[in-house]
Amino acid sequence: METSRSAELFAEAQHHIPGGVNSPVRAFRGVGGTPRFIEHGAGAYLYDADGNKYIDYVLSWGPLILGHAHPEIVWVVSNQAARGTSFGAPTASETELAQLITAAMPAVELVRFVSSGTEATMSAIRLARAYTKRAKVIKFAGCYHGHADEFLVQAGSGVATLGLPDSPGVPPAATADTLSVPYNDLDAVEAVLKQHHDQVAAIIVEPVAGNMGLVPPLPGYLTGLRALADAHDALLVFDEVMTGFRVAPGGAQELYGVTPDLTCLGKVIGGGLPAAAYGGRREIMQQIAPAGPVYQAGTLSGNPLAMVAGAATLRAISAPGVFERLSQVAAQLRDGFAAAAEAANVPLQAASVGSMWGFFFAAAPIRDYASAKQHADTARYARFFHAMLERGVYLAPSQFEAAFVSLAHDDAEVEYTLEAARAAFRA
Ligand code: KE4
């Protein structure tokens, strides 16, 4: 496959940008090789600087649930741009998107928009600490909540891939109140809550983990977290930046029937533009300035372009049958990969939840970060990744990420992908 133009662009980028990328996972460090510089996207496809075409299962790490350059998104963003891109003043478009979110997620009575998932989670934790007047936060090893100092403790996603459980530059004081326990283990949470009784402000969790690879919650796990949070007067925060409007119309909280106190959102709600949010019970969210004393602000928060793109996206995916279709496509890929791996005698653990899917090169089910790091064959993943890339299928350039599908992924894309996988598992 010709990649010389991407290689040139990557060399040039590295003279101006650390590692040549604006987010670490894009540099292909987890799989090796030359990151593809993308010229444009259309529907389910990416087209790179050398003219190669790929079926895209990264979809900008989740946001592009309608596929690339969807006509409705292009129209609403272009139309808004011609009327102005940012005002630093309230617009009706922010209320419109807020209404769509609160209608889909009844637990989100009030919502505040920010520009990234990192801002959403850091703000939610500040709010939880203010509301409970407590300092400690429980998170889960392998779960990633963005790069705010307090979270860079055994995070997932890029940090997991880079093997940097604690980033330099994060002072001990910043993480002193962050308690990290294994995912899918209620006893570990209960023990920490008892040890730090009356000090834990919040439990923050990816209700379906997507940053250590795709690791669904065990049956009863989320219900157990809800009960433990209640028993210890801690807030339960669902980080649904990835799962929101991805695993179900109302997110993981709808899919599993567990109501969090606060919810963090991102990715899909911006329709491919920078937007994220945090929200929850009115009595808690009313503490946020200027309604209350907890300070949080942002120059481009609620940006009109992102608001109209997000609203158009949420309207489109709320149509009847959309999530059934998305879930069906993800399940076809899950089952097709499992069958292809078995036929090639390759140990594989494949899973899907709604329109998220993923797989580990492992012989036993992966339940948490420790088992992902111990059992997932990252070298095998890297070989498979490149074998698929050569065949025009763009998967996440890391074993510790999830895959996604969009409404643009039709039967033809699924069939092509499974044909490529049957060959790649034997490569
Ligand atoms: P951002 O700050 O990157 O918008 O969101 C952080 C974040 C928070 N919570 C969850 C559950 C997330 O998945 C993320 C971001 N996800 C990663 C990849 N899984 C974004 C990709 C990247 O870091 O480049």
Residue 204 alpha carbon to ligand 1 centre in Å: 14
Residues 152 and 241 in one domain: yes
Residue 342 alpha carbon to ligand 1 centre in Å: 32
Q: What is the CATH number for 389?
A: 3.90.1150.10
Residue 71 alpha carbon to ligand 1 centre in Å: 26
Ligand 1: which of 25, 64, 164, 242 to mutate, most ligand atoms within 8 Å of CB? 242
Distance CA 336, CA 409 (A): 15
Decide: 264 and 117 in contact? Cβ < 8 Å. yes
Domain housing 327: 4-69+320-426
Distance CA 53, CA 389 (A): 10
- pLDDT above 90 covers what percent of the chain? 93
Residues 187 and 144 in one domain: yes
Residues 195 and 273 in one domain: yes
Lowest mean pLDDT among 86-90, 171-175, 259-263: 171-175
Residues 191 and 208 in one domain: yes
Q: What is the CATH number for 269?
A: 3.40.640.10
Residues 138 and 186 in one domain: yes
Q: Which residues are catalytic?
A: 144, 239, 267
Residue 217 alpha carbon to ligand 1 centre in Å: 19
Distance CA 304, CA 294 (A): 24
Task: State which ligand 1 atom lies nearest to the alpha carbon of 117.
Answer: 5
Prior bond to 290 cis, omega within 30? Answer: yes
Judge whether residue 370 has pLDDT over 60.
Answer: yes
Residues 221 and 160 in one domain: yes
**pLDDT, tens digit, 9 for 90 and up, residues 227-248:** 999 999 999 999 999 999 999 9
How many structural domains is the chain composed of?
2
Q: Is 61 in the pocket of ligand 1 (CB under 6 A)?
A: yes
Residues 294 and 203 in one domain: yes
Q: Is 23 in the pocket of ligand 1 (CB under 6 A)?
A: yes
Task: List the residue whose alpha carbon is closest to atom 23 of ligand 1.
Answer: 23
Decide: 235 and 201 in contact? Cβ < 8 Å. yes
Residues 249 and 378 in one domain: no
**pLDDT, tens digit, 9 for 90 and up, residues 373-424:** 999 999 999 999 999 999 999 999 999 999 999 999 999 999 999 999 999 9
Instruction: Indicate the residue among 316, 336, 361 that finishes a domain.
Output: 316
Instruction: Indicate the residue among 286, 316, 346 that finishes a domain.
Output: 316
Q: Please list the residues that pair with 200 across neighbouring strands.
A: 136
Q: Is 269 in the pocket of ligand 1 (CB under 6 A)?
A: no
**pLDDT, tens digit, 9 for 90 and up, residues 111-154:** 999 999 999 999 999 999 999 999 999 999 999 999 999 999 86
Q: What is the mean pLDDT of the chain?
A: 96
DSSP per position, 308-343: HHHHHHHHHHTSTTHHHHHHHHHHHHHHHHHHHHHH
**pLDDT, tens digit, 9 for 90 and up, residues 152-211:** 986 545 444 433 447 888 888 888 899 999 999 999 999 999 999 899 999 999 999 999
Instruction: Indicate the residue among 300, 316, 332 that finishes a domain.
Output: 316
pLDDT attached to residue 197: 82
Residues 79 and 62 in one domain: no
Burial 343-354 (b: 16+ CB within 10 A, else e): eeebebbbbbbb
Q: How far is it between the farthest Cα atoms of the chain?
A: 60
| Helix-strand-coil split of the chain, %, nearest 5 | 40, 15, 40
Distance CA 338, CA 359 (A): 9
Residues 272 and 367 in one domain: no
One-letter amino acid of 249: P
Residues 329 and 312 in one domain: no
Task: State which ligand 1 atom lies nearest to the alpha carbon of 146.
Answer: 6
Residues 142 and 65 in one domain: no
**pLDDT, tens digit, 9 for 90 and up, residues 101-118:** 999 999 999 999 999 999
DSSP per position, 136-159: EEEEETT----S-GGG-BS--HHH
